């Protein structure tokens, strides 16, 4: 009897385990999996980017930013609300505030009221941009850094409202290097096109270390705020350094918008280190792209570019294929992250840190 039962049980166990789902996604799973892109910019009435998201099973967050080349902030809010009304099941938005009237003694109250109005309209958080620390100066002529005391009531209001603070502070470390020493091609192209933001040319501006320190000071002052560091928290150049920040600040998560190339560059040097980092900090990493749309665009071109970007990133994270792109020179290998890590990076972490209105 025993000699009969053993092979029978063995056969059952083999059959059971052979039917267990694979622990990894494939390229073909891209459209099947629910995903959130937490970092896009919709400065157009065109729905092309949202249409691409619907086709690719993405939910989007559109982010208002106080950028000189963007529409005025009230127009950005209008466009965000327009897209929410057209596609309520596929998009939410983050608002922002302006430092334009900093010298006005009522500036803090005015900007809190602006933010409150957008929260009442459905904004799920705010974003601050690199003009804090790199553009605006106070009455003494000093750069207004992220830890400036006058900003504290605004951050306190965001925290008290249970909303999220996204922050693009400083720039990639490449910004403080000469063009020929930069690690990724898109940084080299950007700072060549926008020399006003290439800090290597402006030693009179705050250093990279000062930008990061000001952000860290902000986090120390507000340990309860939900804080998402845009662009890998401007510590994109070394996953070990980023890990130190994540260990130090439990309320910090980071998105990957426009910085996945930096992960790929590091993958060339030590793929396992990058992969282990992604697995170790799987609860703190959020997918985003920085895709944008403005004016009256070529809708098909917008859709094609968005889907190509999303699919290329998906391949990097879910496969171990060798691949190439224009961001870095040479080939690199995909990370082939486990399903549970992919699900967190692409969906669950965004829900936790941004609390989008997915019930619509």
Q: Is residue 12 part of a domain?
A: no
H helix runs in the chain, sequence order = 2-18, 48-55, 73-86, 107-121, 131-134, 152-160, 185-193, 208-221, 230-233, 239-248, 260-280, 299-318, 339-343, 349-354
CB environment 312-343: b (16+ within 10 A), e (fewer): ebbebbbbeeeeeeebbeeebbbbbbbeebbb
Residue 59 in any domain: the answer is yes
- pLDDT tens-place string over residues 322-351: 999 999 999 999 999 999 999 999 999 999
State residue 21's pLDDT score.
55
Residue 196: pLDDT band (50, 70, 90) is: confident
Structural domain count, the chain: 1
Could you tell me the residue range of the domain that residue 290 belongs to? 24-354
Residue 1 lies inside a defined structural domain of this protein: no
The yes-or-no verdict on residue 1 having pLDDT over 50 is no
Instruction: Tell me the residue length of the chain.
Output: 360
Q: Does residue 79 fall inside a structural domain?
A: yes
pLDDT of 16 reads: 46
In the prediction, which pLDDT does 2 show? 42
Q: Is the pLDDT of residue 313 over 90?
A: yes
Strand 332-333 relative to strand 322-323, pairing: antiparallel
pLDDT digit string, tens, across residues 84-134:
999 999 999 999 999 999 999 999 999 999 999 999 999 999 999 999 999
Strand partners, 293: 42
In a domain, residue 185? The reply is: yes
Please indicate, yes or no, if residue 125 is contained in any of the structural domains: yes
Write the CATH number for 347.
Answer: 3.20.20.140
CA distance 350 to 312: 20
Phi then psi dihedrals of residue 42, to 5 deg: -110, 85
CB 211 within 8 Å of CB 234? yes
- Band the pLDDT of 15: cuts 50, 70, 90: very low
Q: Is residue 87 part of a domain?
A: yes
pLDDT, one tens digit per residue, over 271-301 is 999 999 999 999 999 999 999 999 999 999 9
The verdict on residue 98 lying in a domain is yes
């Amino acid at each position: 009897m025993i000699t009969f039962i053993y092979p029978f049980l063995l056969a059952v166990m083999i059959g059971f385990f052979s039917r267990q789902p694979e622990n990894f996604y494939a390229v073909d799973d891209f459209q099947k999996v629910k995903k959130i892109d937490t970092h896009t910019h919709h400065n157009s009435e065109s729905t092309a980017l949202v249409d691409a998201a619907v086709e690719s099973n993405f939910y989007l967050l559109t982010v208002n930013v106080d950028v000189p080349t963007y529409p005025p902030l009230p127009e950005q809010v209008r466009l965000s609300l327009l897209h929410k009304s057209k596609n309520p099941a596929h998009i939410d938005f983050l608002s922002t505030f302006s430092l334009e009237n900093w010298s006005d003694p009522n500036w803090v109250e005015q900007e809190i009221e602006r933010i409150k109005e957008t929260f009442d309209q459905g904004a799920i958080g705010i974003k601050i941009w690199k003009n804090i620390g790199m553009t605006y100066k106070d009455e003494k002529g000093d750069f207004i850094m992220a830890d400036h005391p006058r900003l504290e009531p605004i951050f306190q209001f965001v925290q008290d409202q249970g909303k999220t603070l996204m922050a693009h502070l400083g720039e990639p470390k490449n910004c403080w290097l000469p063009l020929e020493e930069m690690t990724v091609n898109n940084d080299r192209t950007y700072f060549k096109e926008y020399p006003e933001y290439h800090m290597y040319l402006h030693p009179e501006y705050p250093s990279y270390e000062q930008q990061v320190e000001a952000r860290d000071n902000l986090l120390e002052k507000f340990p309860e705020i939900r804080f998402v560091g845009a662009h890998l928290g401007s510590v994109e150049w070394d996953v070990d350094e980023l890990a130190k920040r994540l260990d130090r600040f439990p309320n910090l998560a980071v998105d990957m918008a426009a910085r996945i190339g930096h992960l790929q560059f590091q993958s060339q040097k030590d793929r396992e280190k990058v992969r282990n980092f992604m697995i170790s900090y799987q609860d703190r990493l959020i997918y985003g792209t920085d895709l944008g749309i403005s004016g009256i665009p070529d809708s098909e071109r917008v859709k094609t570019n968005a889907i190509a970007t999303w699919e290329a990133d998906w391949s990097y994270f879910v496969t171990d294929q060798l691949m190439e792109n224009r961001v870095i020179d040479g080939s690199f290998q995909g990370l082939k992250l486990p399903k549970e890590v992919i699900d967190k990076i692409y969906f669950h972490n965004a829900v936790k840190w941004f609390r989008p209105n997915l019930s619509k």
